[in-house]
């Protein structure tokens, strides 16, 4: 399942974030790449624990935890603290699959990367190239969203970032460990939840609502891992 989530940050908020990012010092993006990924990764990144990355990441997670669509689709259990990267002219990240486990620096807790997320912090017109290309069972998708929008997709997906040929592409990225490990099961639960909410809005007294809601929670109870 590939899901765009729009409007997490306003135009004014994103502008302030970009201005701060333009004035900070960056490190080589390979610092958080695995052995194989490091060969394909050519970008810049704020180090883990960087104050600006922590500020942006905290605001992002707080908003996602209150966002019904994210909560329904991801069914989050743990989230790896968001990282911030930058692709300038020539920057790219070849096809790769994210590491299955991530461990935040200074923490003993590990996060299984069931879901990957990218929050775009640059407007599409501000740079050429830089599309997030995701290859999965739904085919090959090229994603280049407005600043402040996020895309959520399976961590098992093969994906890359096309070379940036003009301008700079700023983004936040992170991983989520879901209460439901399998993407196909999460997708069914998400579709069912959407149908229940739509039915509740259209015919709130329909007797099938109780049955459908019960089935949803029984499936969740069967598939959930804690």
Distance CA 5, CA 162 (A): 21
CATH number at residue 204: 4.10.860
Q: Please indicate, yes or no, whether residues 205 and 108 belong to a single structural domain of this protein.
A: no
Binding residue per annotation — 77?
no
Binding residue per annotation — 193?
no
Domain residue limits at 160? 3-178
DSSP tag of 24: S
Question: For the segment 90-133, what is each residue's pLDDT rounded down to a tens digit?
Answer: 999 999 999 999 999 888 999 999 999 999 999 999 999 999 99
Q: What is the pLDDT of residue 33?
A: 65
Q: Please indicate, yes or no, whether residues 109 and 202 belong to a single structural domain of this protein.
A: no
Residue 36 has pLDDT above 80, yes or no: no
CATH number at residue 94: 2.60.120.620
DSSP tag of 37: H
φ and ψ of 28, to 5 deg:
-65, 135
Q: Please indicate, yes or no, whether residues 56 and 137 belong to a single structural domain of this protein.
A: yes
- The pLDDT mean for the chain works out to 94
How many domains does one find in the chain?
2
Distance CA 141, CA 2 (A): 9
| CA 129 to each of CA 38, 104, 166, 193: distance values in angstroms, whole numbers, following the listed order | 21, 30, 7, 36
- Cα R_g (the chain), whole angstroms: 18
- Which pair of structure tokens corresponds to residue 115? 């879901």
Binding residue per annotation — 42?
no
Tally of CB atoms within 10 A around 181: 14
Q: Please indicate, yes or no, whether residues 158 and 192 belong to a single structural domain of this protein.
A: no
DSSP tag of 109: -
Report the first-to-last Cα separation within the chain, whole angstroms: 22
Count H helices and E strands in the chain, helices first.
6, 17
Q: Please indicate, yes or no, whether residues 205 and 119 belong to a single structural domain of this protein.
A: no
Residues with Cβ < 8 Å from 65, sequence gap 6 or more?
Answer: 71, 76
Confidence of residue 51 (pLDDT cuts 50, 70, 90): very high
Q: What is the pLDDT of residue 136?
A: 86
Confidence of residue 40 (pLDDT cuts 50, 70, 90): confident
Q: Please indicate, yes or no, whether residues 141 and 210 belong to a single structural domain of this protein.
A: no
Binding residue per annotation — 18?
no
Q: Please indicate, yes or no, whether residues 156 and 60 belong to a single structural domain of this protein.
A: yes
Q: What is the pLDDT of residue 37?
A: 65
């Amino acid at each position: 399942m590939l899901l765009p989530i729009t409007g997490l940050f306003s135009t004014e908020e994103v502008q302030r974030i970009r201005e701060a990012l333009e004035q900070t010092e960056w490190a080589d993006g390979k610092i958080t790449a695995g052995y194989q990924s490091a060969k394909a990764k050519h970008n810049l990144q704020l180090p883990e624990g960087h104050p600006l990355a922590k500020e942006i990441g905290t605001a992002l997670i707080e908003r996602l935890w209150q966002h019904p669509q994210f909560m329904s689709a991801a069914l989050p259990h743990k989230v790896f603290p968001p990282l911030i990267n930058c692709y300038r002219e020539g920057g790219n990240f070849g096809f790769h699959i994210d590491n299955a486990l991530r461990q935040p620096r200074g923490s003993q807790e590990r996060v299984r990367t069931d879901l990957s997320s990218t929050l775009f912090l640059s407007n599409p017109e501000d740079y050429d190239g830089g599309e997030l290309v995701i290859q999965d069972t739904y085919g090959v998708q090229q994603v280049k969203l407005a600043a402040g929008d996020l895309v959520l997709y399976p961590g098992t997906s093969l994906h890359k970032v096309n070379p940036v040929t003009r301008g700079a592409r700023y983004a936040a990225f992170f991983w989520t460990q879901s209460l439901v490990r399998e993407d196909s099961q999460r997708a069914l639960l998400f579709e069912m939840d959407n149908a229940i909410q739509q039915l509740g809005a259209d015919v709130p007294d329909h007797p099938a609502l109780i049955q459908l809601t019960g089935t949803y929670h029984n499936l969740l109870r069967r598939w959930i891992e804690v």
